[in-house]
Amino acid sequence: KAGVTQTPRYLIKTRGQQVTLSCSPISGHRSVSWYQQTPGQGLQFLFEYFSETQRNKGNFPGRFSGRQFSNSRSEMNVSTLELGDSALYLCASSLAGAGLYNEQFFGPGTRLTVL
Amino acid sequence: AQSVTQLDSHVSVSEGTPVLLRCNYSSSYSPSLFWYVQHPNKGLQLLLKYTSAATLVKGINGFEAEFKKSETSFHLTKPSAHMSDAAEYFCVVSPRGGSYIPTFGRGTSLIVHP
């Protein structure tokens, strides 16, 4: 079974631009969660989508948004990029959800650098 | 509310010696607990999980962890370290109620010396 894939793996943008990251979950997984990983803040939960609906949301500004398609693939968008958005963005999929007994399967991440 | 504290940011051991990575948690709801490992430039991989069955949980690669409710701890151990164990380890608490949002510890970097 193929694992979680994320594209692109690396991205360089400038302040003020916007960016879209993509995540394809493991086949059969309906939940996709996104995380931001930085040296200063560690791993922080962004949001979770399940069956095309945002089910949980972390404490991030509205510049961070996402969506999920009917095939469970998910995209994450960050508008008006700031230097502090430089991070490794991880996507994880699970059968039913980010919490409640379920383990998550993580992709390799997208390394975003904002100049 | 919930929180996770990994008591050591770095742990250094010699190959063949025991490993102990410490994790304390707090949660308003009875939690599920996980340990994940992250090798450089890779995503996280599940080592083991506790979901209210046996308190001693065995995982992959010889790791195990014991859930101690009275101490609110979930420490990760391995009898004998291998060079390939060098990585970042994350303790995670997921509440079984409320928001269900998982909280990650800040991570412990395991260094293994030959």
Task: Verify whether the Cβ–Cβ distance B42 to A58 is below 8 Å.
Answer: no
Q: Which residue has the higher pLDDT, A20 or B98?
A: A20
Comparing C-alpha atoms, which of B53, B56, B85 is closest to residue B68? B56
Lookup: tokens for A93 = 């999929």
Q: What are phi and psi of A72, to 5 degrees?
A: 80, -10
pLDDT of residue B32: 87
Spatial distance between the Cα atoms of A89 and A115, rounded to a whole number of angstroms: 17
pLDDT of residue A98: 54
Q: What are phi and psi of B42, to 5 degrees?
A: -125, 165
User: B49-87: string of b/e by CB count within 10 Å (b at 16+)?
Assistant: bbbeeeeebebeeebbbebeeeeebbbbebeebeeebbb
Chain A residue numbers with beta carbons less than 8 Å from the beta carbon of B99 are 56, 99
Residue A22 pLDDT level (bands cut at 50, 70, 90) = very high
- Give the model confidence (pLDDT) of B2-59 as tens digits: 899 999 999 999 999 999 999 999 987 778 899 999 998 788 999 999 987 788 999 9
Comparing C-alpha atoms, which of B92, B110, B93 is closest to residue B39? B110
Q: Which residue of B has its CA nearest to A94?
A: B46
Task: Verify whether the Cβ–Cβ distance B101 to A99 is below 8 Å.
Answer: yes
Rounded to an integer, the average pLDDT of A11-24 is: 97
Lookup: tokens for B15 = 């190959």
Contact A21, A76 (CB under 8 A): yes
Query: CA of B94 to nearest chain A CA: how many angstroms apart?
Result: 5
Rounded to an integer, the average pLDDT of B67-84 is: 95
> Counting beta carbons within 10 angstroms of the beta carbon of residue B99, is it exposed (0 to 12), middle (13 to 18) or buried (19 or more)?
middle
Spatial distance between the Cα atoms of A59 and A5, rounded to a whole number of angstroms: 25
